[in-house]
Structure 1
Amino acid sequence: MLKRLFDILFSISAILLFGWIVVFSLVVAAVATNSNGLFFQKRIGRYGVTFTIIKLRTLCTYTDGTISIPRVGLLLRKSKLDELPQLVNILVGHMSFVGPRPDIVGYYNSLQGEERLILQLKPGLTSEASLKYFDEEVLLQQQENPKEYNDTVIFPDKVKLNLHYYYNHSILGDIKIIYKTLLRYIQ
């Protein structure tokens, strides 16, 4: 109950404080991607129930089926500004500020035994795992087989970190993770 109250108060505060950045970034994303600027995708939420995550669109899809990432899209991804619309997901209760990042359908389906405890947590905007793999896209680009590396190294490590969070989460711990996240953006 305290965590939900924290999420509501801080998401409202963040929307009021950073709303202008979201609107500006939305306009930039819309122009750069020739779209409405928003990206909606089904993700796995608490108890394995899917929900629609909101992000800023960073990809251009052309009529011939090709996909590209404009420079502004790369900037939005690198700065994580594309994640700011998830403040709405937090406000409506699909997400929390801190918790395992919501994954696409498929990965969380493979969780076995104790690993499935992660699904009892509300997905978050940030976590220890997302901090550790802050530059995950860059790391994957450096691999000979990115999917295999993700499946055998990154995803299992994220599961371990998220299980650790499951057993040890607290409001004070969440505040520390938020603080570390803010420091990461400042660097």
Structure 2
Amino acid sequence: MTAAREPLPTGVRGRAAAAPIAPVALPWTLRALDLVVAVTLLVLLSPLMLFLALQIRFTSGSPVLFRQQRTGEGTRTFTLYKFRTMRHGATGPGLTSGCDPRVTATGRLFRRFHLDELPQLANVLRGDMTLVGPRPEPADVARRFPPEYRWMLQHRPGLTGPCQLRSREHAELLNDQPDPEEYYLAVMVPLRAELNAELLSHNSLTTVLRYLARTLWYVLSATWDRSGSGTRSDRPGKAGTRCTEEG
């Protein structure tokens, strides 16, 4: 499977990065759990991932994967992998709003059930990410973080977590914003900081296992939960627009 780079925000240099800060080390028990779960899921889900890759290949061509520079533990930059859900070569903001026209029909389904994030298990295996933690921020967005919230960048980002489990409702906040990144920094980052503070103050093996169970339920609930994907008909010209998650 080949990889493509995620479109960079308009007018942004591709190598922007946050100033280094001291990382908070991940406990060895959580790292051991990361390895066990990541290896197990990569083996068990490999047929599904192959099927998803073929779906992308046959419906929107190559490449199957895209990659984006994200900010990890201590602001170390790493390459995050996802299944491609946007039209190849599409440009625009680095954050994906709920009704983003760049997203393909197959991509909307993948985003709805978070299937596009399965390749991030490789990031967990490599140590770029952990199973449960703060959302991995795009490098340029992290560089512009308000100083009072930069503490979140000390921690290893997670495949899931309290913010990721609110992605459908948070998607609504980005819809129709003239500058999604500025809105994200001013309004959504403080919301995420509150959620992450609660998680990180009780970060333990039990907490991680609880969030993994909640994540499974959250993914399954996408079958009947229409928040973040309902038809928008409250404004002229928006009828019939389908919405997906941000990120």
TM-score by length of 1: 0.88
User: What is the distance in 1 between the residues matched to 2:46 and 2:205?
Assistant: 25
How many angstroms apart in 2 are the aligned matches of 1:136 and 1:37? 26
1:99 and 1:122 in contact (8 A); partners too? yes
Q: Does 1:181 align with 2:208?
A: no
Establish whether residue 27 from structure 1 lines up as the match of residue 54 from structure 2: yes
What residue identity is the alignment partner of 1:16? V
Aligned counterpart for 2:197 among listed residues 144, 151, 163: 163
Q: Which residue of the other structure, out of 54, 70, 74, is the alignment partner of 2:104?
A: 70
Aligned AA for 1:56?
F
Give the one of 115, 121, 133 matched to 1:99.
133
Question: CA–CA distance in 2 between the matches of 1:25 and 1:162?
Answer: 31
Which residue of 2 is the match for residue 83 of structure 1? 117
Question: SS of the residue aligned with 1:60?
Answer: coil
Is 2:151 the counterpart of 1:117?
Answer: yes
Structure 1: unaligned runs, 5 residues or longer:
none
Secondary structure class of the residue paired with 1:133: helix
- Given that 1:33 and 1:57 are in contact with CA atoms closer than 8 Å, whether structure 2 keeps it comes out as no
- Which one of 52, 77, 88 corresponds to residue 50 of structure 1? 77
8 Å CA contact 1:57–1:73 kept in 2: the answer is: yes
Structure 2 gap segments, 5+ residues each: 1-27, 93-100, 222-247
RMSD (Å), alpha carbons:
2.1
Shift, 1:36, TM fit: 2.3
SS, match of residue 162 in structure 1: helix
Equivalent pair of 1:118/1:166 in contact (CA under 8 Å):
no
Larger helix proportion, structure 1 or 2? 1
Amino acid at match of 2:192: K
In 2, are the aligned partners of 1:30 and 1:38 still within 8 Å (CA)?
no
Higher relative contact order (CA 8 A, sep 6+): 2
Identity level (%): 29
Separation in 1, partners of 2:80, 2:177: 30
After TM superposition, what 4+ stretches of structure 1 lie above 4 angstroms from structure 2? none
